[in-house]
Structure 1
């Protein structure tokens, strides 16, 4: 496993991050435990979750499963960079959501209890809150840092302008500010190249990528009628991208590699990407992802992928002279 520093910090994280969103709704505790054991054994040290994950089992379920695993693996806790998120609704209470200082404090306390830890290494804002002033957000985050409950602050699904706004406010007060952005980015969805990636590069944020396989679109045809690739929305998107996906599958076949491996290897070849989140439902899926990390794509294959899925280019050049 290779590692990179997280943005402008000295913290080193694995090129692959273990995403836990499937734990609970789609992967039972026993298999989730086995996947986490395997991930650590393979050198993955960045575990990503969120307080809202749990699906039909209820918000907080995934953090609880991770906390149960940590309780039986105390020796592994200090080897992990543990990341979770705050913002999404946790109940019907009007204040049990968003990025108010009150909710940030309460949500962090609740995540610490579910995870069974005394601190969170990377506390990420799951989405922007247009009602929350930057000063209020930093007041809450500063308090949590001072209390030793979080170490670094990151964003997720932030546009470039919001990354700039929050980091300028932090810079004015002598704070470290945001150290990472977790963003949607893959061969099918490359709009992050327009403004999010340039903002990350300008402010020294590490880029953590989610949905590297575009919800399964880039993983090849579904097998056995199971998983997200069989969902109606994914099937409709696959039809809309029919010609491109066929060219993509033909290219992958020519390399002798699985389409999912190629998509993930492409992401890891992008200079701005610090880590790509994989969300395996099974141990076999984790093994496939590890092959992608271990075997880079050739320059010729990377160029061919850009021909099929053209880059967006930075703003404003992407849409103006």
Structure 2
């Protein structure tokens, strides 16, 4: 009997043939309504779920899938997957750490360049037949700070250090002895030591509002914030206040707390560049992401070690 995968994601459909070619039966459920219907109709057949961090998989949904054995999360984040419920059932959980790291890192640098160099404003002025030559800061030789030094953080650091001759500092819960970059003991210390603060850490309760008013104040009036992580990592109201008052110079945001809703206050600010959570989206990233899901599924169902297993809490 073949394996049945409930697919909750909506961004990699053109690469799902990789799973189908290996005999997996896919049930596509990209909306809340289709998700509930699929679980109600096919819950007794589904033994794998493909989801992403913000979509997750709830405890009640896990309970409604009696044959479920493995949950595969695309991307690095898994904040809305109930890991405790999975652990209680002995269900394995994997993520896609590293699969789209290059794409996300490219986008982070694009946001940084756009907001620091004022690219959207310059483009708009030329389209208005204006010729405003505004002096904007350069990036070369500046100081970049990273919150998070996983696959994405390392890819950003490499681009900053080798491409723009930046010094790179980072904060993680534990220092990385193998890293060539400078470790900072806390987020505030990191923010006070850099020109550009880039967020590349998972979302969830542990990192909620890690960047607050105090951290933004430490970043300072010449500092820029780039967020390609999760909106929840930043205190949105504190960020709006800091951008409005000139407490920081600007921000490049690909993620938002409560997306797809974006605060109107952010939309009116000229010192913000925004994109709709597309940092990890490219044809290459989509292919590599689904390939990693396939590799994890194939390993699991043939009794081999998982490529990117998540550490789960103890069953209870």
TM-score range, shorter-chain basis?
Answer: 0.3 to 0.5
TM-score (norm 1): 0.33
The structure whose residues are more often helix, as a share, is 1
Give TM-score scaled by structure 2 length: 0.33
